């Protein structure tokens, strides 16, 4: 029999809709019952691609006896952390304060007022490995609430006093300079794995915003080793098992230090950020490997993660048929008949052995770089490439007939904004009109579907239903994507919508008292604290993206308030940027934009005109992170009121024209792509 979660849209919540647990979604119905019956709340937070979430469900939430204990003693609330990052942030901080660590599944015991008094992560169904069994924990948590309310009150009061302090950065008044960037680079250089690339030891996460900062650092000519660090990391990841060698796209992280054995789930935001990183590395170096990885990753998103409506799905699970990684691995006996005459060469290239490298099977990877492998085998690079391409097509077709991992097909505004930007940038830089089409369809979908009747941005959509007020990251990431889409197409509506979102973002989330943004809007329900995450983790935090967006829009629009509200949080964060660069990568990019004098580029000309396209290509194939690009696709239109940069910008002699300004001085308008290239390279 289904519980209340059957009425939800989140695939994660729907996974639990047939548990014997009397689950509620977070909301007033559950909270009112807890208050009316004076019952503690058991809050369980996870997400669809979380392996240990599935384990705890099988062991405990599907167990009839454990469900009885939960139902008799608690109001049970299940939350999808991707839909409700505010609740996840608030209660994760509490769990980390109580236990010293955190993760998912997250299990938190709350008073009826929502105040946490105990918590943890995964709990086994019986005492095991030094962990208490879940039934024993349930009994203790219930008894503590009903028999020791004085202690509960003391604990919750102390937690409430401490929670939220990590987001309260003191206002900074020291001028922002490149010295912060030098300090950040020095920290990263000491953490770098010079053998395998990346930072730190196992498990190893891709951290795409950190190499992005290093690309910026290298562009200034500060230290050539910065680019060496990026290239080693990108090559090791591209050839490792964390990259899906058959279908493209990246798994979540590597369980080892060598990028070989991944945790097999695939997240939209990882692939959006990594595709963009590889694109930027290609712009810097021209290395065809980086372009290939960019295109294979975005092609994977188009093939497997795109809704017919234009939205991008959230995640693919690690498990299929109850086994982690089963969908992705191969044995020699499977491969030989599929690959035929290519079998020996391709299996050698992908490191396939009888013993395997993952539970008796093989995660495909490239243990020997192609140029070295061809020398060992006495084949040409062209012959190897042709064999690998034939093999990939065959294996992808065969894999499509396997039982697929669960697809989390909800659409999240912030993650879509990240992906929108990547498709827009890659579309114009690589000459891929299908990418630009995907970006435009996505933007149309988000702007039409993810806003309510008051034009308030919403968080999540699935099966035709959009709901939940959007967070800071939703506003910031969508505005960010729209700016890039304007740069790629010159269509004015995308810039106009970005400015509108920025104004709404400031109104809903900015707080003068803290000199920065909160993650929840002023119209949001009141929680134990108002969350404010200031760290870039697997994805950039809302505050760093908002800062970057406002700084760029400040230049584009001439709006001094945007510029001031972009700079203020940077001043508060600058000490943290130098001390903890791996947790502030996107902030560092915003700082780089602020301390550099941005180059202003205007292109005027119809987008269907090849000359306009050639101008856009000249700009877009270069790595110029500290520039803004605005334009008019239809020169007959009046100049955009949102950008004074377009004032008096017209086509010269009826020919598409580019204008380049920098350091408060403008160069002569040019109509020839070669002349524009000379100005950009100056």
Q: Where are the beta strands (DSSP E) in 506-571?
A: 510-511, 516-517
Q: Residues 583, 535: contact at Cβ < 8 Å?
A: yes
The confidence band for 665, taking pLDDT boundaries of 50, 70 and 90, is confident
Give the tens place of pLDDT for each residue, 581-638: 999 999 999 999 999 989 999 999 988 899 999 999 999 999 999 999 999 877 666 6
Q: Which residue from 272, 625, 303 is spatially nearest to 422, judged by alpha carbons?
A: 272
Taking the chain, what is the end-to-end CA distance rounded to the nearest angstrom? 70
* Pairing between β-strand 627-632 and β-strand 599-604 as defined by DSSP bridges: parallel
pLDDT at residue 330 in the model? 98
What domains appear along the chain, each with residue ranges and CATH number? 4-163 (3.40.30.10), 181-320+408-595 (1.50.10.10), 328-401 (no CATH), 599-681 (3.40.30.10)
Mean pLDDT on 111-127: 95
C-beta neighbour count of 153 within 10 angstroms:
13
Could you give the CA distance from residue 43 to residue 95 in angstroms, rounded to a whole number?
12
Give the tens place of pLDDT for each residue, 278-294: 999 999 999 999 999 99
The confidence band for 322, taking pLDDT boundaries of 50, 70 and 90, is confident
DSSP 631: E
Mean pLDDT on 319-325: 90
Mean pLDDT on 569-585: 93
Could you give the CA distance from residue 15 to residue 92 in angstroms, rounded to a whole number?
22
Burial class (CB in 10 A: 0-12, 13-18, 19+), 121: buried
Q: Residues 298, 275: contact at Cβ < 8 Å?
A: yes
Q: What's the gap between Cα 76 and its chain centre?
A: 30
Q: Where are the beta strands (DSSP E) in 596-666?
A: 599-604, 627-632, 657-662, 665-666
pTM for the model: 0.96
Whether residue 152 is predicted with pLDDT greater than 60 in this model: the reply is yes
Mean pLDDT on 635-656: 79
The confidence band for 163, taking pLDDT boundaries of 50, 70 and 90, is confident
Would you say the C-alpha torsion 237, 284, 229, 584 has a positive or negative sign? negative
Q: Which range has highest mean pLDDT (148-152, 381-385, 605-609)?
A: 381-385
Contacts of 385 (CB under 8 A, 6+ apart): 370
Whether residue 75 is predicted with pLDDT greater than 80 in this model: the reply is yes
pLDDT at residue 165 in the model? 74
Mean pLDDT on 16-45: 97
Mean pLDDT on 430-454: 97
Whether residue 410 is predicted with pLDDT greater than 60 in this model: the reply is yes
Question: What 3 state SS string does 427-481 have?
Answer: HHHCCCHHHHHHHHHHHHHHHHHCECCCCCEEEEEECCEEEEECCHHHHHHHHHH
Q: Which range has highest mean pLDDT (186-190, 512-516, 678-682)?
A: 186-190
Whether residue 509 is predicted with pLDDT greater than 70 in this model: the reply is yes
The length of the chain in residues reads 682
Give the tens place of pLDDT for each residue, 474-486: 999 999 999 999 9
Supply the mean pLDDT for the chain. Answer: 94
Whether residue 73 is predicted with pLDDT greater than 90 in this model: the reply is yes
Could you give the CA distance from residue 663 to residue 426 in angstroms, rounded to a whole number?
28
The confidence band for 164, taking pLDDT boundaries of 50, 70 and 90, is confident
pLDDT at residue 638 in the model? 61
pLDDT at residue 640 in the model? 62
Mean pLDDT on 395-405: 97
Instruction: Give CA separation, 118 vs 114, 134, 156, 358, in Å.
Output: 12, 13, 9, 37
Mean pLDDT on 77-102: 95
Could you give the CA distance from residue 374 to residue 379 in angstroms, rounded to a whole number?
5
The confidence band for 239, taking pLDDT boundaries of 50, 70 and 90, is very high
pLDDT at residue 366 in the model? 98
Whether residue 639 is predicted with pLDDT greater than 60 in this model: the reply is no
Exposure on the CB side of residue 392, measured as CA atoms within 13 A: 16
DSSP 164: T
Give the tens place of pLDDT for each residue, 325-372: 999 999 999 999 999 999 999 999 999 999 999 999 999 999 999 999
Mean pLDDT on 271-276: 98
pLDDT at residue 650 in the model? 87
For the chain, counts of helices (H) and of strands (E): 25, 21
Mean pLDDT on 46-66: 94
pLDDT at residue 129 in the model? 81
pLDDT at residue 641 in the model? 67
Whether residue 56 is predicted with pLDDT greater than 70 in this model: the reply is yes
């Amino acid at each position: 029999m289904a519980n209340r979660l059957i009425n939800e849209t989140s695939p994660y919540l729907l996974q639990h809709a047939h548990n014997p647990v009397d689950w509620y979604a977070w909301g007033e119905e559950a909270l009112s019952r807890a208050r009316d019956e004076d019952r503690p709340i058991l809050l369980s937070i996870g997400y669809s691609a979380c392996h240990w979430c599935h384990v705890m469900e099988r062991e405990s939430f599907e167990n009839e006896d454990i469900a009885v204990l939960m139902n008799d003693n608690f109001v049970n609330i299940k939350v999808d952390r991707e839909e409700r990052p505010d609740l996840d942030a608030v209660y994760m901080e509490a769990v980390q304060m109580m236990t010293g660590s955190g993760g998912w599944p997250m299990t938190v015991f709350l008073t009826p007022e929502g105040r946490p008094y105990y918590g943890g992560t995964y709990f086994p169904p019986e005492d095991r490995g030094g962990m208490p069994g879940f039934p024993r924990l349930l009994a203790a948590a219930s008894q503590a609430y009903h028999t020791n309310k004085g202690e509960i009150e003391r604990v919750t009061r102390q937690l409430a006093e401490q929670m939220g302090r990590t987001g309260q950065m003191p206002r900074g008044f020291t001028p922002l300079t490149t010295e912060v960037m030098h300090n950040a680079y020095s920290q990263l250089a000491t953490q770098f794995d010079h053998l395998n690339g990346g930072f730190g030891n196992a498990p190893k996460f891709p951290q795409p915003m950190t190499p992005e900062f290093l690309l910026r650092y290298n562009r200034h000519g500060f230290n050539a080793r910065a680019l060496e660090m990026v290239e080693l990391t990108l090559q090791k990841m591209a050839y490792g098992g964390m990259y899906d060698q058959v279908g493209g796209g990246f798994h979540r992280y590597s369980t080892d230090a060598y990028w070989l054995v991944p945790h097999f789930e695939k997240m939209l935001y990882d692939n959006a950020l990594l595709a963009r990183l590889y694109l930027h590395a290609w712009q810097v170096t021209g290395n065809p490997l980086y372009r290939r990885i960019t295109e294979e990753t975005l092609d994977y998103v188009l093939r497997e993660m795109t809704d017919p409506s234009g939205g991008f799905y959230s995640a693919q699970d690690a498990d299929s048929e109850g086994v982690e990684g089963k969908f992705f691995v191969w044995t020699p006996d499977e491969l030989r008949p599929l690959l035929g005459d290519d079998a020996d060469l391709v299996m050698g290239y992908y490191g396939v052995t009888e013993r395997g490298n993952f539970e008796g099977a093989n995660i495909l990877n490239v243990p020997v770089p192609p140029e070295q492998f061809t020398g060992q085998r006495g084949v040409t690079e062209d012959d190897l490439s042709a064999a690998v391409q034939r093999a990939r097509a065959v294996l992808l077709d065969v894999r499509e007939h396997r039982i697929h991992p669960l697809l989390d097909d909800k659409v999240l505004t912030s993650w879509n904004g990240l992906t929108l930007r990547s498709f827009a940038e890659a579309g114009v830089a690589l000459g891929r009109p299908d990418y630009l089409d995907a970006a435009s369809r996505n933007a149309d979908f988000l702007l039409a579907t993810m806003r309510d009747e008051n034009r308030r941005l919403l968080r999540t959509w699935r099966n035709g239903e959009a709901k939940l007020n959007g967070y800071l990251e939703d506003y910031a990431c969508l505005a960010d994507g729209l700016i890039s889409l304007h740069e790629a197409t010159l269509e004015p509506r995308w810039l106009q919508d970005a400015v509108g979102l920025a104004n709404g973002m400031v109104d809903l989330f900015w707080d003068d008292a803290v000199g920065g943004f909160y993650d929840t809007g002023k119209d949001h329900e009141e929680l134990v604290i108002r969350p404010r995450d200031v760290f870039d983790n697997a994805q950039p935090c809302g505050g760093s993206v908002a800062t970057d967006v406002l700084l760029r829009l400040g230049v584009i629009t001439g709006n001094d308030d945007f510029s001031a509200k972009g700079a203020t949080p940077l001043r508060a964060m600058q000490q943290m940027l130098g001390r903890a660069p791996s947790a502030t990568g996107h902030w560092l990019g915003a700082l780089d934009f602020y301390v550099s004098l941005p180059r202003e580029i205007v292109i005027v000309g119809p987008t269907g005109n090849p000359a306009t396209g050639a101008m856009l290509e000249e700009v877009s194939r270069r790595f110029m992170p500290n520039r803004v690009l605005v334009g008019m696709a239809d020169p007959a239109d009046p100049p955009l009121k949102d950008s004074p940069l377009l004032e008096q910008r017209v086509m010269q002699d009826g020919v598409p024209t580019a204008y380049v300004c920098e350091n408060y001085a403008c160069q002569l308008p040019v109509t020839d792509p070669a002349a524009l290239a000379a100005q950009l390279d100056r």
